[in-house]
Amino acid sequence: MKVAVQGAFWIFVYLAVAVAPLVFAWSGPEPGRGFLINLSVALGFVGLAMMGLQFALVARFKTVSAPFGMDVVLQYHRQMAYVALLFILAHPVLLFVEDTRFLALLDPVTAPLRAKMAVTSTVALLGLVALSVWRKKLRMSYELWQLTHGLLGVLIIVTALAHVFLVGYYVDEPWERVLWLAMSAGFVLLLVWVRVLRPLERRRNPWWVEEVIAERGETYTVALKQQNENGFSFEPGQFAWIMAGKSPFATTQHPFSISSSAERTDRVTLSVKAAGDFTSSIAALKPGTTVYLDGPHGAFTIDRHEGPGFVFIGAGVGVTPLMSMLRPLADRGDVRPCYLFLCNRDRESITFREEIEGLKSKLDLKVIHVLSRPERGWEGEKGRIDTSVLSRGLIGEEHRHLPQRCRRLVYFICGPDAMMDATEDALARLGVPAERVHTERFGMV
- 381-382, strands of its sheet edge to edge: 381-382, 365-371, 338-344, 310-315, 410-414, 437-440
Say if residue 229's pLDDT is above 50: yes
Residue 445's pLDDT is what? 42
Question: How far is residue 81's CA from residue 102's CA, in Å, rounded to a whole number?
Answer: 26
For residue 204, how far is the Cα from the chain centroid? 25
Residue 84's pLDDT is what? 93
* Average pLDDT over the chain, rounded to an integer: 86
Given pLDDT bands bounded at 50, 70 and 90, which one contains residue 326? very high
Residue 412's pLDDT is what? 96
Q: Which residue has the higher pLDDT, 235 or 142?
A: 235
Question: How far is residue 130's CA from residue 134's CA, in Å, rounded to a whole number?
Answer: 6
Question: How far is residue 227's CA from residue 142's CA, in Å, rounded to a whole number?
Answer: 28
By mean pLDDT, which of 156-160, 308-312, 322-326 is the weakest? Answer: 156-160
Cβ atoms of 316 and 415 closer than 8 Å: yes
Question: How far is residue 369's CA from residue 67's CA, in Å, rounded to a whole number?
Answer: 32
Model pLDDT for residues 48-94, shown as the tens digit of each residue: 889 888 888 888 888 888 788 887 888 899 899 999 999 999 999 99
Say if residue 444's pLDDT is above 50: no
Say if residue 19's pLDDT is above 90: no
For residue 32, how far is the Cα from the chain centroid? 46
Say if residue 117's pLDDT is above 60: yes
Question: How far is residue 113's CA from residue 121's CA, in Å, rounded to a whole number?
Answer: 12
Within 10 A of 130 (CB to CB), how many other CB atoms are there? 11
Q: Which residue has the higher pLDDT, 114 or 176?
A: 114
Q: What is the mean pLDDT of residues 290-311?
A: 89
DSSP character string of 161-208: HHHHHHH-TTS-SHHHHHHHHHHHHHHHHHHHIIIIIHHHHHHTS-EE
Query: For 246, which DSSP code?
Result: S
Question: How far is residue 385's CA from residue 387's CA, in Å, rounded to a whole number?
Answer: 7
Model-level pTM? 0.82
Say if residue 429's pLDDT is above 80: yes
Q: Which residue has the higher pLDDT, 252 or 337?
A: 337
Cβ atoms of 256 and 240 closer than 8 Å: yes
Given pLDDT bands bounded at 50, 70 and 90, which one contains residue 181? confident
Burial of residue 398 (CB within 10 Å: 0-12, 13-18, 19+) is exposed
CA dihedral 391, 392, 398, 401 (to 10 degrees): -80
207-297 and 308-440 agree in CATH topology: no
Within 10 A of 128 (CB to CB), how many other CB atoms are there? 22
Class of domain 308-440: alpha beta
Domain extents in the chain: 2-202, 207-297, 308-440
Q: What proportion of the chain, given as a percentage, has pLDDT over 90? A: 38
Q: In this structure, which topology does domain 207-297 adopt according to CATH? A: Elongation Factor Tu (Ef-tu); domain 3 (2.40.30)
Asked: is 2-202 a CATH 1.10.3470 domain? The reply is no
Residue 303 one-letter amino acid: D
